[in-house]
Structure 1
Amino acid sequence: MTASTELVTKAPAVTAKRSWKLPITLAIFGVLSLILFGLLAPSGQTTRFGLSTSTDFVTFDPVALPSRATAIILSLASLLLAAYSFVRVRASQRVGRWVPALFGVIWVLTFLVWAVADKSTSLVSLLQGSLLLAVPLAFGALGGVLNERAGVVNIAIEGQLLTGAFGAAVVASMVGNAYVGLLAAPIAGLLIGVMLALFTVKYAVNQIIVGVVLNVFAVGLTSFLFSSVLKENAGTLNSPPRLAALPIPVLSEIPVIGPVLFRQSIIVYLLYVAVAVITVALFRTRWGLRVRAVGEYPQGADTVGINVNRTRWGNVLLGSMVAGLGGAFFTIGSVGAFGQEMTAGKGYIALAAMILGRWTPIGSLGAALLFGFADKLQQVLGVLETPIPNQFMLMLPYVVTIIAVAGLVGRVRGPAAAGEPYLKE
């Protein structure tokens, strides 16, 4: 066993306790689903879901389902999962992560069947839009993972996304090339990262306060430049070309999966690569072991020759660049122009995705997809004019954030030294 491995294994441990939070949460939502979407729903309605597009290699006719009966069956399935979690917790056994994940999928399907009753919607379009909206959240969460695994809490994700969006828009407008703007986004995010590392690592200022201040700074700076520079020169500085979709041959023609995963722009494909590379780097390399040692037990890491503050500097800068890359989605990947405060709090949702994903790249991606789905769902249901009030639909992504973090995650432990400055004696 190497010295670095011993550091991680000797880090402060937290004894797992039996918690009824997950079973109770699942049971409550299961009962609500059965009553609201099943038993109280009108009978005789039909829900139609589209499963393919006209350009798919194989196309399918829309699936028609009896709304009330389908909702009742799905609700009973969700209650079975809740009962299973009760049995596991009562026996002091671990409830697999697949249980809340599967429950969430079933519950959302039940809600969709009820909300789209006597209407039709495309599941392909819903899932494709969900992935797109999850892109900046996932990049922001990955940036947070890189930072916090080294012991630095990154509240400044919002500012990094915003400056990345600004840099991508301006550079892409000036050169007339979206891909050059994509390269500028991580550099813009790096500017916030330098200040974050300077104040938190070098000067040991409270990391939460610094992150909040940097977010305010990013909002103020980009708003000032937008009002005084971009507005007056919108044609040359704020009219960037958008990233074009790059369908992958053959794969993009697979029904459902193809349009969703393989008919996207380069920024989505970069997300796939980033998740894979960061996962391998953090958990399968010597560099990742050192980073995790610094985040868990910096004093011990220092004793075996790891430069704690240099490691933190490097991870803060790298994480800021990753988050800045996600900011490019808002301008060259979606809207096609920069607007004041256009990130609209997505950096904080990315932070929640990181926590919900338990500080892992794959988990963070899954949580980002959940929040992206909630965001897209409110758009789709708003267009379909469902009986749900529009104000509630606008709140939906943030409500899901609160429920997921407070109700489903329960007690989780991040890196032990996250938020604690390291001052070498």
Structure 2
Amino acid sequence: MSTTQTAVHAEPREEAAHGTRPIAWKFPVTYAALALLSLLVFALFSPAGARTRFQLSTGSDFIAIPVLDLPSRPATWTLGLVLAALAAFAIWRAVQRARTGVWLPVLFGTLFVLAFLVWAGADRNAVIPLVTVLTGALALSVPLIFGAMCGLVGERSGIINIAIEGQLLAGAFLAAVVASVFTSAYAGLFAAPVAGALVAVLLTFFAVKYQVNQIIIGVVLNVLVVGLTSFLFSTVLTQNAELWNARQQLPRLPIPVLSQIPVIGPVLFNQTILVYLMYVIVALLHVFVFKSRWGLRMRAVGEHPKAADTVGINVNRTRVVNTIMAGAIAGLGGAFFTIGQGLAFGKEMSAGQGFIALAAMILGRWNPVGALFAALLFGFSTSIGNVLATIGTPVPSEVLLMLPYIITIFAVAGFVGRVRPPAAEGVPYEK
């Protein structure tokens, strides 16, 4: 090879060594815009002399943490300047073409939310109950987390599951009916996954056997479940509510010692068995999806079904079994709407949560832990809106109610970065 050719071939290597890839401006610009918002709105418009108070503990905690009383304007200025410094750091790292760890968005988001709460709660003659906000966030996230886990297992196997909404609603319906008939919330807990699995059976029947477009069949199943449950609600449940739709609630099961830890104890360890099941399912999926033979087979049929078939994996059977199991997980999430909260069944009470669960799955990049945190983000935004609407804030209540849906739009629009679904999802496999 000549000297000229050697130089030509060496050029890309040198450019790669010096890091000439395009600068990623998306996140640094976002950080800068949010820091500017914090300074120009939260800091400048905090009432002079106002104070914001946060309640950090409950009466059952080991240690009674006093109410945190902050001067609103100095606190928002301090937080705004810290956010500006973090934004400047992100810009500097972007110019250097260096990656920042996950600590930066987590820290930035936490401080921005804190600045918002200090500003929103300034001079409101009310205490912001932080434990209540976090407890509400977890509660609102439960059906989203179950739904996201359902979508993750199905799509990792190659089946697009738009029917999560219907599976949640079916789980809520059957849980309420069975719990009412047997006067036992635990009976409803066993029935809920059956309802979700039955919807998944229909999904796999048409998607795998007859190769119907999976998005279309998912939408049809959602409409079917909404129509069927609404019809039964109007004709059966409302005529004899004492028998078919009486309220039953799962009891809370506080874990000794852990439930009395300040802040996190009442949030994480004073829950119903349904929430504890959620912890277990997320942990097991995180291990099994990436570190087990089952997970390897599931990812294989979702990415390269032909190669999986070549080594002896029954692709369609794997997809059917995994999707039905995923439907059972979604059914458990639906149980939260009724027996999880002690409510009777109501028409369309899932209220679009299945679609937000899909967004959480995408935002989490088809990873159990990522989907968990994405669902918690949606639940947290809703909980903040509910609490602030109660104490009164400068933000219109309509805007607060829009928060989770705004986040959903940004998630599915790819704002969080390019996400790649499993290569063979939605593609029927023929041997």
TM over 0.5: yes
The match for 1:170 is 177
State the Cα RMSD in Å.
1.5
What SS is found at the alignment partner of 2:427? Answer: coil
What SS is found at the alignment partner of 2:420? Answer: coil
What SS is found at the alignment partner of 2:69? Answer: strand
| Contact 2:247-2:342 at 8 Å conserved across structures | no
| Contact 1:161-1:343 at 8 Å conserved across structures | yes
Unpaired segments ≥5 residues, structure 2: 1-20
Whether 2:327 is the aligned partner of 1:320: answer yes
The match for 1:381 is 388
Indicate which of 23, 31, 34 corresponds to 2:36.
31
What SS is found at the alignment partner of 1:129? Answer: helix
| Contact 2:46-2:122 at 8 Å conserved across structures | no
- In structure 2, the CA distance between the partners of 1:341 and 1:116, relative to structure 1 (3 Å rule), is same
The match for 2:302 is 295
Q: How many angstroms does 1:209 deviate by?
A: 1.1
Whether 2:76 is the aligned partner of 1:71: answer yes
Q: Which amino acid aligns with 1:307?
A: N
Q: How many angstroms does 1:17 deviate by?
A: 6.9
CA distance in 1, matches of 2:244, 2:417: 46
The match for 2:6 is none
> TM-score when scaled to structure 2?
0.92
Whether 2:397 is the aligned partner of 1:366: answer no
CA distance in 1, matches of 2:103, 2:307: 35
- 1:325-362 alpha-carbon deviations (Å, 9 max, x no partner): 00000000114210000011000110011011111111
More divergent stretch after superposition (232-241 vs 140-149): 232-241
> TM-score when scaled to structure 1?
0.93
The match for 1:5 is none
Q: How many angstroms does 1:407 deviate by?
A: 6.4
| Contact 1:165-1:331 at 8 Å conserved across structures | yes
Runs of 4+ in 1 over 3 A off after TM superposition: 16-19, 403-408
| Contact 1:22-1:410 at 8 Å conserved across structures | no
Indicate which of 398, 403, 411 corresponds to 1:391.
398
Indicate which of 207, 213, 226 corresponds to 1:219.
226
The match for 1:84 is 89
- 1:276-329 alpha-carbon deviations (Å, 9 max, x no partner): 111111111011011111111111111111111111101110111001100000
Q: Which has the higher contact order (CA 8 A, sep 6+)?
A: 1
What SS is found at the alignment partner of 2:41? Answer: helix
CA distance in 1, matches of 2:188, 2:140: 19
Q: How many angstroms does 1:75 deviate by?
A: 2.1
| Contact 2:248-2:342 at 8 Å conserved across structures | no
The match for 1:280 is 287
**CA radius of gyration, larger in:** 2
Q: Which amino acid aligns with 1:325?
A: L
Whether 2:53 is the aligned partner of 1:44: answer no
CA distance in 1, matches of 2:102, 2:428: 33
| Contact 1:22-1:407 at 8 Å conserved across structures | no
Q: How many angstroms does 1:404 deviate by?
A: 4.2
Unpaired segments ≥5 residues, structure 1: 1-15
What SS is found at the alignment partner of 1:332? Answer: coil
Identity %, equivalent residues: 59
Q: How many angstroms does 1:400 deviate by?
A: 2.3
Q: Map of 1:302-313 to 2, 5 A cutoff? A: 302-313=309-320
- 1:139-182 alpha-carbon deviations (Å, 9 max, x no partner): 00000110011111111110000000001000000001101101
- 1:348-404 alpha-carbon deviations (Å, 9 max, x no partner): 110011011111111111111111111111110111121211221221221122234
More divergent stretch after superposition (405-414 vs 172-181): 405-414
Indicate which of 258, 262, 273 corresponds to 1:266.
273
Q: Which amino acid aligns with 1:110?
A: A
Q: Which amino acid aligns with 1:378?
A: G
| Contact 1:21-1:407 at 8 Å conserved across structures | no
